[in-house]
Amino acid sequence: MIVTEEFFNVLLLIAIALIFARVLGYLFHKFKQPAVIGEIIAGILLSGLGVFVLSNQNYILFNYTISIPNINELFKSPQFIFFAEIGILFLLFISGLETSISKLKKTEKASLYVAIGGVILPLFLGFLSGIFFGYSFTESVIIGLILTATSVGVTVRSLMDLNVLDTEVGATILSSAVFDDIIGIILLTFAMGIGSLMDAVWIGIKIAIFFFIFLYIGLKIIDKILLLGEKLLLPKSFLSITIAILILYSFFAYESGISGIIGAFVAGAIIGQNVRSKNIIDDIKAIGYGFFIPIFFVYVGASLWNGGDIEISSFTSIFLFIIIIIFMSIIGKILGCGIGAKLAGMSKIESLQVGVGMIPRMELALIIATTAQSHNILIGNVAHIILLTTIILTIATSLIAPFLIKATFKNND
Partner 1 sequence: MAKENKLIKEFYELKVDQLMDKRVWDLPLIEENEDIHHVLSILGARNHIWVIKNKENKELIGVITEHDVLSILAPKHFPSYVFGMPDVRSIQHGTANTAGEVMASKIIMCDPNEKIIDALMRMVKFKLRRLPVVKDKIIVGELTLHQLIRKYYSATQYHPILNDGEG
| Burial degree of 229 (CB within 10 A; 0-12, 13-18, 19+) | buried
Q: CB under 8 A: which stretch of 49-57, 150-158, 330-338, 370-378 binds partner 1?
A: 150-158
Per-position x/- string for 84-123, each x denoting binding to partner 1 as judged by CB under 8 A, each - no binding: -------x--xxxxxxx--x--------------------
Nearer to partner 1, 271 or 385 (CB): 271
Per-position x/- string for 248-277, each x denoting binding to partner 1 as judged by CB under 8 A, each - no binding: --------------------------xx-x
With b meaning 16 or more CB within 10 Å and e meaning fewer, what string describes 76-103?
A: beebbbebbbbbbbbbbbbbbbebeeee
Q: Among 13, 42, 44, 152, which residue interacts with partner 1 (rule: CB under 8 A)?
A: 152
Q: Does 165 bind partner 1 (CB under 8 A)?
A: yes
The dihedral region occupied by 150, where left means phi > 0, alpha psi between -120 and 50, and beta the remainder, is beta
Q: Does 32 bind partner 1 (CB under 8 A)?
A: no
Per-position x/- string for 37-76, each x denoting binding to partner 1 as judged by CB under 8 A, each - no binding: --x-------------------------------------
Distance (Å, whole) CA 369 – CA 147: 10
Q: Among 124, 133, 211, 289, which residue interacts with partner 1 (rule: CB under 8 A)?
A: 289
Distance (Å, whole) CA 208 – CA 60: 61
| Closest approach of partner 1 to the CB of residue 372, in Å | 19
Distance (Å, whole) CA 172 – CA 110: 7
Q: CB under 8 A: which stretch of 173-181, 253-261, 299-307, 328-336 binds partner 1?
A: 173-181
| Burial degree of 64 (CB within 10 A; 0-12, 13-18, 19+) | exposed
| Burial degree of 51 (CB within 10 A; 0-12, 13-18, 19+) | middle
∠ CA 42-48-52 to the nearest 5 degrees?
A: 155
Nearer to partner 1, 95 or 371 (CB): 95
Q: Among 1, 61, 166, 410, which residue interacts with partner 1 (rule: CB under 8 A)?
A: 166
Q: Which of 403, 303, 390 is closest to 126 using CA atoms?
A: 390
Beta bridge partners of 67: 58
Chain residues 198-237 in contact with partner 1, contact rule CB under 8 A: 230
Nearer to partner 1, 91 or 352 (CB): 91
Q: Among 11, 19, 160, 232, which residue interacts with partner 1 (rule: CB under 8 A)?
A: 160
Nearer to partner 1, 359 or 385 (CB): 359
Q: Among 17, 40, 146, 174, which residue interacts with partner 1 (rule: CB under 8 A)?
A: 174
Distance (Å, whole) CA 44 – CA 48: 6
3-state class of 32 per DSSP? coil
Q: What is the dihedral of CA 35, 19, 282, 165, to 10 degrees?
A: -10
Per-position x/- string for 372-391, each x denoting binding to partner 1 as judged by CB under 8 A, each - no binding: --------------------
Q: Which residues bind partner 1 (CB under 8 A)?
A: 25, 29, 34-36, 39, 91, 94-100, 103, 151-153, 156-157, 160, 163, 165-166, 170, 174-175, 178, 181, 230, 274-275, 277-279, 285, 289, 293, 363-364
